[in-house]
Amino acid sequence: MRGGYLHNAIMISVLAELFELEGWHTDQEVPIRMGSSIRFVDLVAEREGHSIAIEAESSPKRIEGDLDKAQAMGAQELWIVTPTARIAAGVRRKLDRLFVPVNRDGLFVLTQGAATERVMNKLPHFAGS
């Protein structure tokens, strides 16, 4: 996998396990064709036709690429998951500068803890389930 230990073992793998416990199918490092290049989505969770692209980020640098990948794959939701609230705030500031609304239209910026809570508390009641 492309990321380091924090990215892969702590953030992505833990979320993948939680999604699967809730009945979602998950794939890590999902290739997405974007023009002549291939990019990768860290984690994709799917259930009953609903897909969530999850990107683990330790800085706001790659946010535009995350938005592009989620759109290219046709995900209904994009979760940008960060290890700390400080990084999440930086991601939100970057999205504000890009005029992209957060927590609307399926875009969520979540700390690892908030993403874990969302999977365990919100998704079992997902309307598609």
Please indicate, yes or no, if residue 42 is contained in any of the structural domains.
yes
- Is residue 79 in a domain? yes
* 126 domain residue, yes or no: no
- Helix (H/G/I), strand (E/B), else coil: 37: strand
Hey, is 98 helix, strand or coil? coil
- Is residue 129 in a domain? no
Domain of residue 25 covers 5-121
pLDDT digits (tens, 9 = 90+) for 20-70: 999 999 999 999 998 899 999 999 999 999 999 999 999 999 999 999 999
Q: Is residue 97 part of a domain?
A: yes
The CA-to-CA distance between both ends of the chain, in Å, stands at 30
Task: Determine, yes or no, domain membership for 128.
Answer: no
Tens-digit pLDDT profile for residues 66-106: 999 999 999 999 999 999 999 999 999 999 999 988 877 89
C-alpha pair distances (Å), 36 with each of 32, 33, 68:
11, 7, 14
**Residue 127 belongs to a domain:** no
Q: How many CA atoms lie within 13 A of 47 on its CB side?
A: 17
Residues 6+ apart with CB under 8 A from 64: 98
Taking 70 as the threshold, does the pLDDT of residue 1 lie above it? no
Calculate the CA 71 to chain-centre distance: 12
Query: Domain with 102 in it: what CATH number?
Result: 3.40.1350.10
For the chain, how many structural domains are there in total?
1
